[in-house]
């Protein structure tokens, strides 16, 4: 079935997220109380206090924010990668949603990411609404039948109906001999690199590598050769 999907209709994507503030103590009082309540549900260890657990807040859309969305689209034999990134989340989301509305609003349009059904798609959608923006049609799945939702997920595709385990992008790239996107930083490093090192550009490059890995993995799933380096174009903002 996958070999029949036209990759020119697919927008491959990955996001990077961080806690909404650099430190637990910087949270507004009301959010600090709400995080305390959330933290209790994350562990039963007494030494794992809410402030120590706050480094994990970035994975929750209610307590985090998006700092980068990298997108890849295939045109013929060429892969183009563009990133939307900013310290101002609303700004990058506005630019991203405008792009979706303009280029990915038809019934043929498809989004594709790794573990994206569980993380990227709902996280983006929640943050769009939190920032008071209009949800693009491709993300607005309310009331749609399953076959009307243009969302692919390389992790779900790899499961083949198996519900037992999570398979990382790093593991799948190793299995398929695809260059790893984790040669500099990993997801657990993003908050530190952003809040401590103030190096957003480093995170953008990492996010772009993840998108490239997802593209290459999908091509492998289709039985097609990997995209060659000379055919990969990074679109600078």
> How much is the pLDDT for 188?
85
> How much is the pLDDT for 47?
66
> How much is the pLDDT for 54?
93
Q: Rounded distance, CA 137 to CA 3, Å? A: 26
Kindly report the pTM of this predicted structure: 0.94
> How much is the pLDDT for 96?
98
Contact between 96 and 69 (Cβ < 8 Å): yes
- Digits of tens for pLDDT over the chain (237 positions)? 688 899 999 999 999 999 999 999 999 999 999 999 999 888 766 667 899 899 999 999 999 999 999 999 999 999 999 999 999 999 999 999 999 999 999 999 999 999 999 999 999 999 999 999 999 999 999 999 988 999 999 999 999 988 877 899 999 999 999 987 777 788 889 999 999 999 999 999 999 999 999 999 999 999 999 999 999 999 986
List, in order of start, the domains of the chain with CATH numbers.
Answer: 2-20+63-235 (3.30.420.10)
What number of CA atoms fall less than 13 Å from residue 82's CA on the CB side? 12
Phi/psi region, residue 223 (left: phi>0; alpha: psi -120 to 50; beta: rest), is left
What number of CA atoms fall less than 13 Å from residue 209's CA on the CB side? 19
Q: Which residues of 80-89 are buried (b: 16+ CB within 10 A; e: fewer)?
A: ebbbbbbeeb
> How much is the pLDDT for 45?
65
């Amino acid at each position: 079935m996958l070999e029949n999907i036209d990759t020119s209709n697919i927008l491959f994507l990955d996001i990077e997220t961080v806690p909404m503030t650099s430190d637990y103590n910087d949270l507004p009082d009301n959010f600090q109380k709400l995080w305390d309540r959330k933290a209790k549900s994350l562990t039963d260890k007494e030494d794992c206090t809410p402030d120590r657990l706050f480094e994990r807040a970035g994975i929750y859309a209610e307590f985090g924010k998006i700092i980068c969305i990298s997108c890849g689209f295939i045109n013929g034999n060429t892969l183009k990668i563009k990133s939307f990134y900013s310290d101002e989340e609303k700004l990058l989301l506005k630019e991203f949603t405008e792009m979706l509305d303009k280029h990915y609003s038809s019934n043929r349009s498809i989004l594709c990411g790794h573990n994206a059904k569980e993380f990227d798609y709902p996280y983006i959608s929640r943050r769009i609404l939190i920032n008071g923006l209009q949800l693009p049609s491709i993300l607005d799945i309310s009331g749609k039948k399953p076959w009307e939702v243009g969302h692919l997920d390389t992790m779900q595709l790899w499961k083949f109906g198996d519900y037992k385990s999570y398979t990382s992008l790093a593991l799948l790239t190793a299995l398929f001999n695809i260059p790893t996107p984790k040669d500099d930083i990993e997801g657990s490093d993003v908050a530190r690199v952003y809040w401590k090192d103030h190096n957003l550009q480093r995170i953008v490059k990492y996010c772009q590598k993840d998108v490239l890995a997802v593209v290459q993995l999908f091509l492998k799933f289709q039985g097609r050769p990997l995209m060659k380096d000379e055919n990969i174009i990074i679109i600078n903002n």
